[in-house]
Amino acid sequence: MTACSFKIKDTSSIVSPGLVVFRDVMDANLKEMLREAGDLSRLRPHCKTHKMASVTKIQLDLGITKHKCATFAEAEMLASAGVKDILLGYNLVGPNIQRAVEFVQQYNDVQFIATADHESPVRSLSAAMQASGQSIELLIDLDSGQHRTGIAPGDAAHQLYRLFEELPGIVPGGIHLYDGQNHQTELEERRQAVMACWQLASDFRDTLEADGLSVPRIVAGGTGSFPVYASISDPALELSPGTNTFFDNNYGLMFPDLQYTPAARILTRVISRPTEDTLTVDLGYKACASDPDVKKRVVFPDLPDADPILQNEEHLVLRTQHAGDYIPGDELLAVPGHICPTSALHKSAYVIENEEVTDNWVVSSRDRWLTI
């Protein structure tokens, strides 16, 4: 965890609710990510947390050359920032098949990889790539138990991966293993669950290779499982941490063993004091992720007893015994419970260094579409 004052000397330029990033904390998070990975060549962080070209360039400067994303806007942001190895960890259907063709045409110096778990879109992707004279690497998306996407290891998965080998325009690229179901707070319990997922993928890899199929990589994990996968020594393994760059409060509570500190926060201002024990701030759910329960959407380190009792689009009502200490215009810093969708709600982030606003980073891939 990083010690930081989380102070801003002059907030007059910050329009609230405003996303702020404390640069030294983010840098410490990146340093910890590199330490855990051990080897830069197997690190493939997900950009969904920040969605910013500025952050991507900082990661590139640190030697992180492999990156992961979930949308074509994020892929385009990564490529425009200079990334040459991009995994779109999302199964392609509908217009995204043609977008994949356009992406590999426009960024022909980028190694572009996607995922798949069903024959039908794979055949459509093959036809589109063949017609354009292009090719794309595919990872088979394995379902390790979350049942969100993926195909269970077995004969059907084996036949699908063989199809990657047989179809023109498709190159078998390995295995995608996301285990988002592993939210065990106790590290040893999480380790056992993650290792069971790894065994599924490793055994499946062995059967594919025994059949003469190439499995050059296994891209595995997320925020909570990252340290467990990092402990595995396997030349094909790539580590895919997610939230770690910015981190957030809910993952900090869920995974207390992780040595990361929330670097992105929201500056909010009191707009009303409707009763003697309540404050209303300008932090509605248009400015922070609303997928957690209202009690878990934000916390206020400088007002620890603040109890969120009502949130609307532009308002958040807090019950606190210290309400009388505040007047409209007073400021608070809120730590998001879930930072990834929070950053997508802001056009840019104010960068804080040495308690000063020093830059403004555009959230350049917050939209679904850029140019492709």
DSSP state of 282: S
pLDDT at residue 108, as a whole number: 97
Number of domains in the chain: 1
pLDDT at residue 370, as a whole number: 95
pLDDT at residue 4, as a whole number: 75
Q: Residue 41 phi/psi, 5° resolution?
A: -65, -15
pLDDT at residue 113, as a whole number: 99
In a domain, 334, yes or no: no
pLDDT at residue 1, as a whole number: 60
In a domain, 90, yes or no: yes
Round to whole Å and give the CA distance between 96 and 98.
Answer: 5
User: Counting every residue, how long is the chain?
Assistant: 372
In a domain, 9, yes or no: no
DSSP state of 185: S
* pLDDT tens series, the chain, 372 aa: 666 789 999 999 999 999 999 999 999 999 999 999 999 999 999 999 999 999 999 999 999 999 999 999 999 999 999 999 999 999 999 999 999 999 999 999 999 999 999 999 999 999 999 999 999 999 999 999 999 999 999 999 999 999 999 999 999 999 999 999 999 999 999 999 999 999 999 999 999 999 999 999 999 999 999 999 999 999 999 999 999 999 999 999 999 999 999 999 999 999 999 999 999 999 999 999 999 999 999 999 999 999 999 999 999 999 999 999 999 999 999 999 999 999 999 999 999 999 999 999 999 999 999 999
In a domain, 355, yes or no: no
> Where on the phi/psi map is residue 153: left (φ > 0), alpha (ψ -120 to 50), or beta?
beta
Here the CATH number for the domain that contains residue 102 is: 3.20.20.10
Residue 205 structural domain: 23-247
In a domain, 296, yes or no: no
Q: Which residues pair with 38 in a beta bridge?
A: none
Round to whole Å and give the CA distance between 15 and 5.
Answer: 21
In a domain, 182, yes or no: yes
Round to whole Å and give the CA distance between 255 and 225.
Answer: 10
In a domain, 183, yes or no: yes
pLDDT at residue 2, as a whole number: 61
pLDDT at residue 5, as a whole number: 80
**The CA-based dihedral angle spanning residues 152, 153, 158, 163, taken in that order and rounded to the nearest 10 degrees:** 40
In a domain, 122, yes or no: yes
pTM over 0.95: yes
Count of other CB atoms within 10 angstroms of residue 256: 11
Instruction: Identify the CA nearest to 241 among candidates 80, 19, 48.
Output: 48
pLDDT at residue 229, as a whole number: 98
